Structure 1
Amino acid sequence: MFYFDVALKLLLGFLALILVINLTGKGNLAPASASDQVQNYVLGGIVGGVIYNPDITIPEFMLILVIWFMLVLSLRWLKKHNNLVKRWVDGKPVLLVSKGQIDVKAMKQVDLSAHDLSFKLRMQGIYTIKDVKQAILEQDGQIIVTLLGEKNPKYPLITDGVIQQTTLEMIDKDENWLLDELKSQGIEDVSKIFLAEYNDGQIIVTK
């Protein structure tokens, strides 16, 4: 009976994982944010901590999975419809290096040491800060680097109706310039833009 309960709990946990992946997208297989990683860790902890515990019945385990499932979906919905929640939960890209100069305040803000930054740059074959035009820490912990002399990477100017100030700084533009460019394309409401990219002096918009 014990082994039957273990097998059934494991099966329920496996089905819960498949259900969440299919309802929330394949992004959970390669988490792009801290919250995506945490939800996977929590599910692993729930399944691992419950399947060998005979004191937790199958109905109780199913209730735990339902609560976890509702929390995941609720948080995902809030992140999608509320930019403040998304920024609070996942954070935002942080500009660490600009034109060969390290932003020490930003480094301390993300709790990144000089050794950590140097190590991450060396992994990309970069051995001096002076060669770095821009270095941005993404939400998943990766550092994206643009070297001096390279073209600006095609970072989005607007995602999900939100203007990306870091990208504007990278191309030496401001928000007023962006709004004027959008108006020239007949776009008045930024919130209606799904994605806007800057490429070779042009703004490519997907509403």
Structure 2
Amino acid sequence: MEYIAIAAKLVVGMVGILVFLRVAGKAQMAQLTPLDTVSAFVIGALVGGVLYNPDMSVWHILFALAVWTAFNLFIRFCMRSSLLRRLIKGDSVYLVKNGVLNFKVFKRNSLEMEQFRLMLRQKGIFSMFDVEDVRFETNGAVTVPGIGDTTTSYLLVNNGAIVQSSLVHCDRTEEWVLQVIHAYGYKRPSELFCLEWTPGRGFYLVAKSGDVKRGDEEFDVEKIGSEVLS
């Protein structure tokens, strides 16, 4: 009987989750917002907690899923308010605007340059010189409009540390990197958020102060525009 009860709970739990997804309007779960992520954790805990607890029946699963579904629908109803929607779901923000990286947004979202470059490579972009605008969506994905021709680049400094693997790939030394850093007016790699080199096009440098140097152009952190999309 114990195994039959577990099987019954499992079937009811799966059906209940499918009903929840249909009611909540989740045709696909490929891209999760913060609310979707919380829902996934809660539903998993509800079904898992009841499944192996002999003191809880199928009705406990149904009741828990019904309460959570109702609460979820209430939250989504509240999200009709633009203010509450921004508080719950967040905003799309510019990581890069007009070719200038916004360090404040990177820091706020705990995003490192290595992670960002991986996102760009998945879009077929291999140099910051090929990027004009990049938006960081509420589900953690990046949107890059107008992707054109791309070139090879090397991340020399990431979050204050020289990237040794990049030096091997581009056949350069730490001394050379330090000379570049000094040429831009900085004393040590720890002062930089990132330093990217694109042969034939130059360096893309972002200091931990937020200042950006893109080739021969310089952008002061105080003059970098708003990162929140309207």
Bin of the TM-score, shorter chain as denominator length? 0.5 to 0.7
The DSSP-based 3-state class of the residue aligned with 1:89 is helix
Tell me, yes or no, if the aligned pair for 2:78 and 2:84 is still in contact at 8 Å. yes
Question: Are the structure 2 counterparts of residues 130 and 147 from structure 1 closer, same or farther at C-alpha, using a change threshold of 3 Å?
Answer: farther
Paired with 1:19 and 1:166, the residues of 2 have a C-alpha distance of 34
Shift, 1:121, TM fit = 1.3
In structure 2, the partner of 1:117 is 116
In structure 2, the partner of 1:57 is 57
Paired with 1:52 and 1:36, the residues of 2 have a C-alpha distance of 25
Paired with 1:25 and 1:65, the residues of 2 have a C-alpha distance of 15
Paired with 1:135 and 1:86, the residues of 2 have a C-alpha distance of 22
Please, what is the CA RMSD of the aligned residues?
2.3
In structure 1, the partner of 2:34 is 34
Shift, 1:50, TM fit = 1.6
Paired with 1:23 and 1:61, the residues of 2 have a C-alpha distance of 17
**Whose radius of gyration is greater, 1 or 2?**
2
**Identity level (%):** 30
In structure 1, the partner of 2:229 is 166
Paired with 1:123 and 1:29, the residues of 2 have a C-alpha distance of 20
Shift, 1:137, TM fit = 0.6
Question: Are the structure 2 counterparts of residues 19 and 149 from structure 1 closer, same or farther at C-alpha, using a change threshold of 3 Å?
Answer: closer
Paired with 1:141 and 1:105, the residues of 2 have a C-alpha distance of 17
Tell me, yes or no, if the aligned pair for 2:24 and 2:69 is still in contact at 8 Å. no
**Higher share in helix:** 1
Q: Give the letter for the 2:134 counterpart.
A: A
The DSSP-based 3-state class of the residue aligned with 1:141 is coil
The DSSP-based 3-state class of the residue aligned with 1:95 is strand
The DSSP-based 3-state class of the residue aligned with 2:70 is helix
The DSSP-based 3-state class of the residue aligned with 2:145 is strand
Question: Are the structure 2 counterparts of residues 147 and 91 from structure 1 closer, same or farther at C-alpha, using a change threshold of 3 Å?
Answer: same
Residue 66 of structure 2 corresponds to residue 3 of structure 1: no
In structure 1, the partner of 2:218 is none
In structure 2, the partner of 1:98 is 97
Paired with 1:148 and 1:3, the residues of 2 have a C-alpha distance of 55
In structure 2, the partner of 1:186 is none
Question: Are the structure 2 counterparts of residues 143 and 26 from structure 1 closer, same or farther at C-alpha, using a change threshold of 3 Å?
Answer: same
Shift, 1:144, TM fit = 0.8
In structure 2, the partner of 1:159 is none
Residue 86 of structure 2 corresponds to residue 87 of structure 1: yes
The DSSP-based 3-state class of the residue aligned with 1:136 is strand
Unmatched segments (≥5 aa) in structure 2? 150-227
Q: Number of residues paired by the alignment?
A: 152
TM-score under structure 2 length normalisation: 0.59
Q: Give the letter for the 2:14 counterpart.
A: F
Shift, 1:6, TM fit = 1.1
Tell me, yes or no, if the aligned pair for 1:33 and 1:90 is still in contact at 8 Å. yes
Tell me, yes or no, if the aligned pair for 2:50 and 2:60 is still in contact at 8 Å. no
In structure 1, the partner of 2:15 is 15
Shift, 1:147, TM fit = 4.6
Tell me, yes or no, if the aligned pair for 1:97 and 1:136 is still in contact at 8 Å. yes
Q: Give the letter for the 1:67 counterpart.
A: V
Tell me, yes or no, if the aligned pair for 1:101 and 1:129 is still in contact at 8 Å. no
Paired with 1:13 and 1:148, the residues of 2 have a C-alpha distance of 44
Higher-RCO chain (CA-CA 8 Å, sequence separation at least 6) = 2
